[in-house]
Amino acid sequence: MDGMRSIMTVEAFFTFIGIVLWAWSARKQGDFRQAAHSVLHEDAPLAKSAGEWGGRDE
């Protein structure tokens, strides 16, 4: 049972390292930069007022 836990821990660790390497890879840098700047260039409002969501009007 302890051997299985050790295997799962090592597998989770390598999965985490893989995700970190993928996120910091040079190939993805342009995609992430574009996504980060797209929020600044949107024309649509980000949130609706309480009345439009069906909230209480006081």
Any idea where the domains of the chain sit in the sequence?
2-41
pLDDT reported for residue 1: 79
Q: What region, left, alpha or beta, does residue 9 occupy, with left being phi > 0 and alpha being psi -120 to 50 degrees? A: alpha
DSSP state of 42: -
Task: Give the pLDDT confidence of 1-58 residue by residue, as tens digits.
Answer: 789 999 999 999 999 999 999 888 888 788 888 888 887 776 655 555 555 555 555 4
Confirm if 57 and 51 have CB atoms less than 8 A apart.
yes
**In the numeric block, which tokens belong to residue 55?**
């909230």
pTM summary value: 0.51
The whole-angstrom distance between residue 53's C-alpha and the CA centroid of its chain comes to 26
pLDDT reported for residue 38: 81
pLDDT reported for residue 42: 62
